[in-house]
Amino acid sequence: MLKGKVWRFGEDVDTDAIIPARYLNTSDPAELAKHCMEDADPSFAGVVQAGDIIVAGKNFGCGSSREHAPIAIKEAGVSCVIAKSFARIFFRNSINIGLPILECEAAAQALEQGDEVEVDLDTGVIRNLTRGGEYKAAPFPEFMQELIAAGGLIAYTRRKVSSNA
């Protein structure tokens, strides 16, 4: 069960806003986290608390394939991202590195900045503890659940290559 405060962002939040390319001369997660969401909200990285939740509109994470984007979000302490929809590379990157993401239009619309929210990743149920309301995100297909349960693509692949050997 995840619990945290909501940070609201708009629609089409791109990966340049999540982690600007001027910081991509490193892949150190701690360095990247310092600049997380900088071009959308320069104060975010300094004040976000462990467990907090990003809520956004459609097409979150559009733009580049940089895995640095979900890495920066995860390393900044964000426990999950809820959006109306995700750009596809961001979606697969998040699954692959184990950043929980939930596609839920109703929650993306209703949740407000600062709301205290509880998320059950097993059932996809999102509860607003501040103002009430309960929403259900679309469940992941079985294969993706397997990937997540294995601990991401690397752990999953390691198992596969060692059983082939």
Partner 1 sequence: MGMTVTEKILARHAGLEQVEPGQLINAKVDIVLGNDITAPVAIKEFEKLGVNRVFDRDRVVLVPDHFTPNKDIKSAEQAKLLRDFAKRHELTNYFEVGRMGIEHCLLPEQGLALPGFVMVGADSHTCTYGAVGAFATGVGSTDMAAAMATGEAWFKVPESIKFVINGKLQPWVSGKDLILYLIGKIGVDGALYCSMEFAGEAIANLSMDSRLTMANMAIEAGAKNGIFPVDEITHQYLKGRAKWDYQPEYSDSDAIYKEVFEIDAADIDPQVAFPHLPENARAVGNAGEVHIDQVVIGSCTNGRMEDLRAAASVLKGRTVHPGVRAIVIPGTQEIYKQAMQEGLFDIFIDAGAVVSTPTCGPCLGGHMGILAQGERCISTTNRNFVGRMGDPRSEVYLSNPAVAAASAVAGRIISPEELGVKEAAVNA
Q: Taking the complex as a whole, how short is the minimal distance between the CB of residue 6 and partner 1, in angstroms?
A: 22
DSSP assignment string, 76-132: TT--EEEES-B-HHHHHHHHHHT--EEE-HHHHHH--TT-EEEEETTTTEEEETTT-
> Contact between 153 and partner 1 (CB under 8 A)?
yes
**Shortest distance, position 88 Cβ to partner 1, whole Å:** 5
**Numbers of helices and strands, H then E, in the chain:** 8, 7
Positive or negative torsion for Cα 113, 124, 48, 42: negative
Select from 20, 77, 124, 133 the one that contacts partner 1 (CB under 8 A).
Answer: 20
- 131 lies in the binding site for partner 1 (CB under 8 A): no
Minimum CB distance to partner 1 smaller for 7 or for 86? 86
* Encoded amino acid at 55, one letter: V
Tokens of 48: 């976000």
Cα–Cα separations (whole angstroms), residue 92 to 23, 127, 128, 135: 22, 25, 27, 23
| Segment 29 to 88, residues that bind partner 1, using CB under 8 A | 39-40, 58-59, 62-68, 71, 85, 87-88
CB of 102 to partner 1, least distance (A): 17
If one asks whether residue 93 binds partner 1 (CB under 8 A), the answer comes out as yes
Sites of contact with partner 1 (CB under 8 A):
12, 14, 16-17, 20-22, 24-27, 39-40, 58-59, 62-68, 71, 85, 87-89, 92-93, 96-97, 141, 143-144, 152-154, 157-158, 160-162
